[in-house]
Protein backbone atom coordinates (compact mmCIF):
# COMPACT_ATOMS: atom_id res chain seq x y z
CA UNK A 1 0.00 0.00 0.00
CA UNK A 2 1.37 3.40 -0.98
CA UNK A 3 1.87 6.04 1.69
CA UNK A 4 3.03 9.63 1.97
CA UNK A 5 5.86 10.63 4.31
CA UNK A 6 6.80 14.18 5.23
CA UNK A 7 10.07 14.55 7.13
CA UNK A 8 11.66 17.72 8.46
CA UNK A 9 15.33 17.29 9.37
CA UNK A 10 17.05 19.95 11.44
CA UNK A 11 20.67 20.49 12.37
CA UNK A 12 23.56 21.27 10.07
CA UNK A 13 21.78 19.75 7.10
CA UNK A 14 22.31 22.40 4.44
CA UNK A 15 25.50 22.66 2.41
CA UNK A 16 26.52 19.03 2.98
CA UNK A 17 25.04 17.35 -0.12
CA UNK A 18 21.87 16.41 1.74
CA UNK A 19 19.34 17.13 -1.03
CA UNK A 20 21.34 15.39 -3.75
CA UNK A 21 21.87 12.31 -1.58
CA UNK A 22 18.18 12.21 -0.65
CA UNK A 23 17.20 12.41 -4.32
CA UNK A 24 19.52 9.53 -5.18
CA UNK A 25 18.31 7.36 -2.29
CA UNK A 26 14.66 8.13 -3.03
CA UNK A 27 15.05 7.12 -6.65
CA UNK A 28 16.71 3.86 -5.57
CA UNK A 29 13.66 3.17 -3.37
CA UNK A 30 11.28 4.05 -6.22
CA UNK A 31 9.86 6.91 -4.16
CA UNK A 32 8.43 10.02 -5.78
CA UNK A 33 8.16 13.53 -4.36
CA UNK A 34 10.68 16.24 -3.53
CA UNK A 35 13.29 17.59 -1.12
CA UNK A 36 14.04 21.25 -0.40
CA UNK A 37 16.03 23.54 1.86
CA UNK A 38 13.89 25.64 4.20
CA UNK A 39 14.65 29.24 5.18
CA UNK A 40 15.20 28.22 8.83
CA UNK A 41 18.11 25.92 7.88
CA UNK A 42 16.15 22.66 7.97
CA UNK A 43 15.48 20.32 5.05
CA UNK A 44 11.96 19.14 4.16
CA UNK A 45 11.18 15.92 2.33
CA UNK A 46 7.81 14.85 0.94
CA UNK A 47 7.90 11.35 -0.50
CA UNK A 48 5.34 8.82 -1.66
CA UNK A 49 5.81 5.11 -2.20
CA UNK A 50 5.56 1.79 -0.45
CA UNK A 51 5.58 2.21 3.34
CA UNK A 52 8.54 -0.14 3.86
CA UNK A 53 10.58 1.70 1.22
CA UNK A 54 9.82 5.08 2.79
CA UNK A 55 10.76 3.81 6.26
CA UNK A 56 14.01 2.48 4.83
CA UNK A 57 14.63 5.79 3.05
CA UNK A 58 14.27 7.76 6.29
CA UNK A 59 16.55 5.32 8.11
CA UNK A 60 19.22 5.51 5.39
CA UNK A 61 19.16 9.31 5.46
CA UNK A 62 19.60 9.28 9.22
CA UNK A 63 22.53 6.87 8.95
CA UNK A 64 24.18 8.79 6.11
CA UNK A 65 23.90 12.16 7.87
CA UNK A 66 23.97 11.15 11.53
CA UNK A 67 26.74 13.65 12.27
CA UNK A 68 24.65 16.53 10.87
CA UNK A 69 21.08 15.78 12.00
CA UNK A 70 20.01 17.06 15.40
CA UNK A 71 16.26 16.56 15.06
CA UNK A 72 13.52 15.16 12.87
CA UNK A 73 9.76 15.30 12.57
CA UNK A 74 7.90 12.57 10.68
CA UNK A 75 4.31 12.73 9.47
CA UNK A 76 2.64 9.80 7.71
CA UNK A 77 -0.33 10.22 5.42
CA UNK A 78 -2.18 8.82 2.46
CA UNK A 79 -0.52 8.91 -0.95
CA UNK A 80 -2.01 11.52 -3.29
CA UNK A 81 -0.41 10.22 -6.48
CA UNK A 82 0.50 13.76 -7.52
CA UNK A 83 4.20 13.11 -8.24
CA UNK A 84 5.78 11.46 -11.27
CA UNK A 85 9.39 11.41 -10.04
CA UNK A 86 11.62 12.64 -7.19
CA UNK A 87 13.23 16.05 -7.52
CA UNK A 88 14.90 18.92 -5.75
CA UNK A 89 12.85 22.04 -5.15
CA UNK A 90 14.36 25.45 -4.62
User: Residue 10's closest CA among 46, 38, 34, 31?
Assistant: 38
**Active site residue ranges:** 19, 37
Q: How far apart are CA 17 and CA 70, in angstroms?
A: 16
Amino acid sequence: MKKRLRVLFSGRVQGVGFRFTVRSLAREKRAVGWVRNCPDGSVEIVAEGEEAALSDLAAQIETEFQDYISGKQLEWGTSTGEFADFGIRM
